[in-house]
Amino acid sequence: MLTRLLLGLTLFAPLSHAAELTLELPQGNRSWSSAQLLQHPQAQAIEVKADVAYKRDMTYRAVPLAALLNGVQPGDHLQAVALDGFAAELPAAPLLSTQGARAWLAVEDPAQPWPALASGKPSAGPFYLVWQQPEAAQIGPEQWPFQVASLRLLAPVAQRFPALLPAADAGAEVQAGFAVFQKNCLACHRLNGAGDSQFGPDLNIPHNPTEYFAGDFLRQYIRDPQSLRRWPQGRMPGFSEEVLSDSALRALIEYLRHMATRHGTQAKAKEGY
Position 235 confidence tier, pLDDT thresholds 50, 70, 90: low
Answer yes or no: is pLDDT of 147 > 80. yes
Is 157-270 the same fold as 2-154?
A: no
Helix axes 172-184, 246-259, angle to 10 degrees: 100
What pLDDT does 157 receive? 86
The residues near 272 (Cβ < 8 Å, ≥ 6 apart) are none
Q: Any idea where the domains of the chain sit in the sequence?
A: 2-154, 157-270
* pLDDT tens by residue, 90-110: 999 999 999 999 999 999 999
Evaluate if residue 245 carries a pLDDT over 80: yes
Characterize 60-74 residue by residue with b for buried, 16 or more Cβ atoms within 10 angstroms of its Cβ, and e for exposed: bbbbbbbebbeebee
d(CA 144, CA 54): 11
Query: Which CATH architecture group holds 157-270?
Result: Orthogonal Bundle (1.10)
Between the CA of residue 191 and those of 34, 165, 175, 234, what are the distances in Å? 35, 10, 15, 20
- Asked: is 2-154 a CATH 3.90.420.10 domain? The reply is yes
Q: What is the pLDDT of residues 199-227, one digit of tens each?
A: 778 999 999 999 999 889 999 989 988 78
Q: Check residue 120 and give its pLDDT.
A: 84
Q: Is the per-residue pLDDT at 13 higher than 70? A: no
Nearest Cα to 137, choosing from 178, 72, 107, 93? 93
Q: Note the pTM of the prediction, 2 decimals.
A: 0.76
Integer Cα distance of 114 and 117 in angstroms: 9
Range from 18-22, 111-115, 136-140, 185-189 carrying the lowest mean pLDDT: 185-189
pLDDT of 6 above 50: no
